[in-house]
Amino acid sequence: MFDSGFGGLTVARALIDLLPAEDLVYVGDTGRYPYGPRPLDEVREFALEIADHLVEHHDVKLIVVACNTASAAALAELQGSMPIPVVGVIEPGVRSLVSATRSGHIGVIGTVGTIGSGAYQSAVERTEAKVTLTCAACPGFVEFVERGDTDSDQVHVLAERLLAPLRDAGIDTLLLGCTHYPFLARTITDVMGREVVLVDSADETAFRIRELLAELGLERTESGRVGCHIFESSGDVDMFRRLGRSMLGPELDDVRSVAWT
């Protein structure tokens, strides 16, 4: 599994809870975050490099692109080029979104790269659900999360400004289309109002992975087995351990450094 930094830990948490027997390698590319403002071609190169690393150095059986920006930029290419199954977070998130809405007025927030790519707009269209979608990019949110600041006045002021179009559109369900955003859920709810349901892709992605592993006969079935969890960071390893552990929990212990050539 990989993300630009800490955001994918929301998906890792869901996966560890749902599939405790599975081994997990998580790469947080904190040396090159954030991905959101970068050109999609550059993010695609990063994604291919990390996927190759996971196959070559860890012999993984499945890759989870636990990052919306990387999913938007590279999922199709990864699925076409990797020798193993690759799962992204966009389709699972959209499934949750479309099934949760009552009024049909839905919203998605994400990075500039994700929203600009049109990946969510296309994924919602593919469901053929009768819904009206409003999208907004939220530049700056990821940087607050990466600093461990999820509820200061500053992040609140930024959220008021960035979420205004979604409030004006009268949506009843909002998909957090960036794996970092669940850490801002309280602030986002404060701004949007408690009647707006927030959904994220973490649980639905974990369910999709369980389904796929079972379909392919790749799941670990030994009862009582506890998987081993390795975390790699391309940035400051001590900071990754400290901040990551406060976000994921005690399973985040074995943190190693990874460097790109």
146 or 251: whose CB is closer to ligand DGL? 146
Q: Supply the minimum distance, in Å, between the C-beta of residue 239 and ligand DGL.
A: 16
The C-alpha atoms of residue 141 and residue 222 are separated, in whole angstroms, by: 40
Complex with ligand DGL: residue 63 or 104, whichever CB lies closer:
63
Q: Is the bond leading into 39 cis (omega within 30 degrees of zero)?
A: no
Binding site for ligand DGL (CB under 6 A): 3-4, 7, 33-36, 67-69, 111, 114, 142, 178-180
Q: How far apart are the C-alpha atoms of 96 and 171, rounded to whole Å?
A: 15
Alpha-carbon gap, residue 105 to 101, rounded angstroms: 7
User: Least distance to ligand DGL from the beta carbon of 33, Å?
Assistant: 5
178 is catalytic: yes
Q: What angle do the packed helices 119-127 and 90-100 form, to 10 degrees? A: 50
Angle at which helices 90-100 and 202-215 cross, to 10°? 120
For residue 135, give every residue at least 6 positions away whose Cβ sits within 8 Å of its Cβ, in sequence order, or none. 107, 108, 109, 110, 115, 120, 121
228 in active site: no
205 vs 208: CA distance, rounded Å: 5
Closest separation between CB of residue 84 and ligand DGL, Å? Answer: 21
Q: Which is nearer to ligand DGL, 142 or 223 (CB)?
A: 142
CB–CB of 50/29 below 8 Å? Answer: yes
- For the bound state, the minimum distance from the C-beta of residue 215 to ligand DGL, rounded and expressed in Å, comes to 26
- Enumerate the active-site residues: 67, 178
